[in-house]
Amino acid sequence: MAAFHLSTFAQNDKVINFLFPVKTDGIENKVTSVFGESRGDHFHNGMDIASTGEPVLAMAEGKILYSRFGEDDPFGEEFGTGNSVWLDHGNGTYSSYYHLKDGRLPGLLEERLVAGGEKIAYTGNTGHSSGAHLHFVLLKDFGKTIQDPMKVLPIVEDENPPVIGNLLIHQDEYKYSQVNDGDNINISRAFPVTVGIQDAGKKSGQRRGVSQIQVSLNGQLLKKASFSNLHYEKGEWKNSEGFPFSDLYFKDQYLVGNLDFRNGENVIKVLAWDFRQNLTEKTFTFYVNRIR
């Protein structure tokens, strides 16, 4: 059966030095997803590293809080997280490790202390996973806050800034129009406007999210949002500035806003930072004919 221990492990405010939880080469090419990305109707609450059959390491010293493997209930429904392990690092800080390879390592059913860097599993492809990888999560305040692991992990090299795509005006759930710099458009009312932003990092073709966005319309700031942490408030997860998922994403694009453009020239400016604070700016100037 799954092991779950109610733990109040304390470290007396000891500074926690976090390690990467996968022993792998070329980590800068294997970070496939970052914190705060869209997952259709919710935030990506952790970080993904492409890996198969490699050792999963405790990010820091901690006690085993929970572990669940398919062998605990072979005929039960598989959890989305697949095989998983949770550790308690003290003072309300937890880490969790998902999609682990079948086969619990010895000692994971015990309420014991593991050392930082100690092997606790192997990377796998269990649960709702489209390819072998480790999804790991870092939680604070006894699970009330989820933190971007990049804020505390060793530096991952990346000198390439994000790429800002085109603006989209969404007429309904399935129909949209693309707006390019210099376009002339006819519009009758306010519509949701989104922008595509992707960060490949050092490996071309990757489609990761960004750590911060800022958008303005005609010189007025519309939104400044970061993805450094999520906190649970009034039944939903919100980012650092208090935006819920529905205020930040629409159709898997970054939501600029529900905008009612003025007649004539309109200017939208978008800034995007990746997790290494590489910055990209893009300005869209277009002309609107208001239809009555």
The topology (CATH level 3) of 7-151 is: Glucose Permease (Domain IIA) (2.70.70)
| C-alpha–C-alpha distance, residues 251 and 172, integer Å | 11
Q: Which of 4-13, 75-84, 210-219 has the lowest mean pLDDT?
A: 4-13
The topology (CATH level 3) of 163-290 is: Immunoglobulin-like (2.60.40)
| C-alpha–C-alpha distance, residues 31 and 9, integer Å | 30
b (16+ CB within 10 A) / e for 274-284: bbbebebebeb
Give span(s): CATH 2.70.70.10, the chain.
Answer: 7-151
State the pLDDT at residue 203: 85
| C-alpha–C-alpha distance, residues 214 and 226, integer Å | 9
| C-alpha–C-alpha distance, residues 67 and 62, integer Å | 14
Residue 245's H or E segment, with its range, is helix 245-248
pLDDT grade, residue 23 (50/70/90)? confident
Residue 247's H or E segment, with its range, is helix 245-248
| For residues 182-196, average pLDDT | 95
State the pLDDT at residue 45: 96
| C-alpha–C-alpha distance, residues 2 and 25, integer Å | 32
* Residues constituting the chain: 292
| C-alpha–C-alpha distance, residues 118 and 2, integer Å | 21
Distance set, CA 67 to CA 12, 91, 181, 218, 270 (Å): 25, 20, 52, 52, 43
Question: By percentage, how much of the chain surpasses pLDDT 90?
Answer: 81
State the pLDDT at residue 13: 59
Q: Which amino acid is at 193?
A: V
- Judge whether 197 and 271 are in contact, CB under 8 Å: no
Give span(s): CATH 2.60.40.10, the chain.
Answer: 163-290
- Judge whether 226 and 243 are in contact, CB under 8 Å: no
Question: What is the distance, to the nearest Å, from the Cα of residue 194 to the centroid of all Cα atoms in its chain?
Answer: 19
Q: Which of 4-13, 188-197, 227-236, 272-281 has the lowest mean pLDDT?
A: 4-13
Query: Does the pLDDT at position 142 exceed 90?
Result: yes
Model pTM score: 0.91
- Judge whether 182 and 167 are in contact, CB under 8 Å: no
pLDDT per residue over 204-261, tens digit each? Answer: 888 999 999 999 999 999 999 999 999 999 999 999 999 999 999 999 999 999 999 9
State the pLDDT at residue 202: 85
Which of 69-83, 193-207, 247-261 reaches the highest mean pLDDT? 247-261
State the pLDDT at residue 174: 87
pLDDT grade, residue 14 (50/70/90)? low
- Output the CA angle 227-224-96, nearest 5 degrees: 10
DSSP character for 7? -
